[in-house]
Amino acid sequence: LAPSLVKLVGVEPRAQTRSRVLSVLEELDTLRLQVLALLLQEKLSLAETAQVLGMPEKQVREECVRALEQIRGVVLGTEDRP
C-alpha cells in the first residue's frame, strides 16, 4: 500500500518520506484506510469499493480525496500534527 500512496501523492520515495507516509497511514480512520486499501491495493473501482463498503460511490470518492490530502499534508509538512 505505501509505495502506491507515495507515487500517488507525488513525492519521492525516500526513507524519510516513506516513514512519514506509514506514520500517517496508522493515523487514518478505519474507513479511509479501507477505501485506500480497496482502491490501491486490491485495485477495485470506485463502484466496486462502494459496493463492498455499502456506501454511495460519491462518499468513497470523498473519503479517498480526504485521505490523500491528509497524507499529502503530512508528507509535505503542511498539516499540523499532534
The pLDDT of residue 8? 61
19: helix, coil or strand? helix
Contact 53, 33 (CB under 8 A): no
Non-local CB neighbours of 30 within 8 Å, separated by 6+ positions: none
pTM listed for this prediction: 0.73
Residues in the chain, pLDDT under 70: 1-14, 78-82
Q: Do the beta carbons of residue 39 and residue 49 sit within 8 Å?
A: yes
Q: Dig out the grid coordinates for 13 from the structure.
A: 520515495
Residue 82's CB is within 10 A of a number of other CB atoms, namely 3
